[in-house]
Chain A
Amino acid sequence: MASSQRPLSPHLQIYRPQITSVLSILHRVTGVALTAGTLLLTWWLVAAASGPGPFATVQGFLGSWFGHLLLWAFTFSLFYHLSNGIRHLLWDFGWGFELEQVRLSGIAMVAAAAGLTVITLIAAYVAAGG
């Protein structure tokens, strides 16, 4: 086949974003973000093992406005990636491949991720305050 006749993958600059493609790339974005978040987890655990000073530094950082911002972002990333990951696993079992089902499960997944994030934030602030 002449190379000019080969099927092309969508040209991202001119291809209209659709809910399917946007949700899909966000799975990758959150996966990479969570991987970066492992730096924070490592800092937290290593600091705890190193003594009260280092641990107070991490906890202080996490308690700052920037720390809170990071924690919110990681919380949402985790719940997004988790909900969409379950969707991936269901697809692997062959479930929900119709276009309409993909659209509906996509909306349900975003709603679940947002809901879980809000619940977690409320619980965290109640726990910290009480």
Chain B
Amino acid sequence: MELRSSLSRARGLGSAKEGVHHWWGQRVTAIALVPLSLWFVVSAIGLMGADLPAFQAWIGSLFNAVLMVVLVAVLFYHAWLGMQVVIEDYVHGEAAKTTSLLIVKFALAVMAVACILAVARLAIGA
């Protein structure tokens, strides 16, 4: 016999209401990535085969350092949101899904921090 009321069973099973936030995050970062990634491609062309002093001179400009940090932050957040959807679509079973989400998101977060600290070190050291 079921002692819990229908309402109590239904509670907590619905949407977590974070879908809209996720969707907006993906769009806002996508829009920001259009100019940022074009800037990055143009910069990367100029840095083809550069040695370290040339690279340091480039990232030593506050303009480039700021854009690089913004690019890294936006790009990793976009990839974080995007990979979440891909994993949720293809990895089945709660344990496998949660584990892959944790690994991918942790790796992306660590890389984002490493990139930002690297730029900070270069920009301040320069």
Q: Is A3 an interface residue (CB 8 A)?
A: no
Among all A-B residue pairs, the 10 with the closest Cβ atoms: A49-B118, A45-B118, A128-B48, A35-B79, A42-B111, A49-B121, A55-B52, A52-B52, A46-B118, A124-B45
Contact flags B48-71 to A (C-beta < 8 A → 1, else 0)? 111110011001000000001000
Are B86's CB and A32's CB within 8 A? yes
Residues on B with beta carbons closer than 8 Å to the beta carbon of A86: 34
B interface, size bucket:
35 or more
Of all chain B residues, which has the CB nearest A59?
Answer: B49
Are B111's CB and A48's CB within 8 A? no
> Taking beta carbons and an 8 Å cutoff, which residues of B are in contact with A?
27, 30-31, 33-34, 37-38, 41, 44-46, 48-52, 55-56, 59, 68, 72, 75-76, 79, 82-83, 86, 108, 111, 114-115, 117-119, 121-122
Residues on B with beta carbons closer than 8 Å to the beta carbon of A45: 68, 72, 114-115, 118-119, 122
A interface, size bucket:
20 to 34
Interface of chain A: mostly helix, strand, loop or mixed: helix
CA distance A56 to B49 in the complex (A): 9
Residues on A with beta carbons closer than 8 Å to the beta carbon of B117: 49
For B33, B37, B38, B52, the residue with the greatest tally of chain A CB atoms inside 10 Å of its CB is B52
Of all chain B residues, which has the CB nearest A49?
Answer: B118
Q: Can you sample 21 A-B contacts with CB below 8 Å?
A: A31-B82, A32-B83, A34-B79, A38-B108, A45-B68, A45-B119, A48-B59, A49-B121, A51-B52, A52-B52, A55-B52, A59-B49, A59-B51, A78-B37, A78-B41, A85-B34, A88-B30, A89-B27, A120-B45, A124-B44, A127-B48
